[in-house]
Amino acid sequence: GKEELANLKEVIDNNWLSEGKFVREFEEKLRISSNRNYALAFNNCTAALITGMKSLGIGGGDEVIVQSLVHSADPNAISATGAEPVFSDVNEKTLCLDIDSIKKVITPNTKAILHVALYGNTSDLDELEKFCNENNLIFINDCAPALFGLFKNRPIASYGDFSALSFFADKTITTGEGGMLLTDLPSLLKEANIYKHDGRKERGVDLIERKGFNYRLTEMQAAIGVAQLKKSELFVKRKKENFDLYRSLLTKDPVKVFHFNSLEENIPHRNIIFVPNAKELLEFLSEKGIGARSLFMPMHSQPIYSSKQVFPITEKLFNSGVCLPSAPSLTNKDIEYVCNTINSFYSHS
């Protein structure tokens, strides 16, 4: 919109394209909304995860538990630190790992738990935080799809030794690509800054203290993000309205609409339904010009992480789950067409 264009024009007129005024403003606004002491911008969420883990000393010989039903960014980030991702099943009601699933795969080498707020939902974060504290485990909170979401009236992003956000094109607000690390630990922030800036304390310093990375966000991306934040209430409102409409129109068997913990607190990143055979419905919707997709293919069955582990809930959810169009720009007419198409499929089957 015009707000993003105005900010971009200011960046170009100032002739400073690397991190500057807009990056600092973007960090500060998200720090406040997430109820955190510190926020550090990154070029994507994966970079924030890698940096946060390395800053806390996670590396070779360590294991990090993460659910199998997840985006590849999570186990890939664990592997990039030199640690080993250990997959777990999920809770069918939340789509997230919980303490029961953790206990089945925890070992003496487990150093951290990586909780993913899948599609904007969460497990019981208070219980998970307590479990990690009692067992001397690092609590990592990937809440990439859960910006502005709450758990028991507390920002989801406020949980964990650190949390990570994404601003990819399909998130509640976007910078095209982009991420944010949020923490209350000054020592973590100091280390993360070094890793982010090529192993230096800051740009312009020649002393290399770590084998670091170039993970900076551009001023242009942050300028878009600042403008997007001003529209966030509208985006959130529309996402919830979309979910309500799906829920009211998809009421016939065998379709089951996934219910989030609380629509008052959670932001539906995806509108998810469960059906007897996801693949059949996805093929039909594609023929009708509807861009639906499956849930994430379980990581334990991916070629690079292939294992003989069996996670029955994860596999059941993958085989039956369908993500319906979820953009705030969808009209009621668009959603009615999607729902009518789904209803027609099952009326003829």
CA distance 248 to 262: 16
pLDDT at 99: 96
Per-residue pLDDT of the chain (349 residues; tens, 9 = 90+): 999 999 999 999 999 998 899 999 999 999 999 999 999 999 999 999 999 999 999 999 999 999 999 999 999 999 999 999 999 999 999 999 999 999 999 999 999 999 999 999 999 999 999 999 999 999 999 999 999 999 999 999 999 999 999 999 999 999 999 999 999 999 999 999 999 988 887 767 778 888 989 999 999 999 999 999 999 999 999 999 999 999 999 998 999 999 999 878 999 999 999 999 999 999 999 999 999 999 999 999 999 998 888 999 999 999 999 999 999 999 999 999 999 999 999 987 5
Cβ-contact 271, 242 below 8 angstroms: yes
User: What is the reported pLDDT for 349?
Assistant: 58
pLDDT of the residue at 239: 95
Token pair listed for 10: 């200011």
Place of tokens 């400073």: 16
- pLDDT, residue 206, reads 79
Secondary structure letter of residue 176 according to DSSP: B
- What is residue 201's predicted lDDT score, i.e. its pLDDT? 77
> Residue type at 246?
Y
Among 247, 255, 297, 270, which residue's Cα sits nearest to residue 69? 297
Residues 6+ apart with CB under 8 A from 65: 86, 87, 88, 97, 102, 105, 106, 110, 112, 113, 114
Buried/exposed code over 289-326 (b: 16+ C-beta within 10 A; e: otherwise) = ebebebbbebbbbeeebeeebebebbbebbbbbbbbbb
Length of the chain: 349
* Confidence at residue 210, expressed as pLDDT on a 0 to 100 scale: 87
Q: Read out DSSP for 198-256?
A: TTSSSTT-----S---B-PPPHHHHHHHHHHHTTHHHHHHHHHHHHHHHHHH--STT-E
Name the token pair of 53. 């883990």
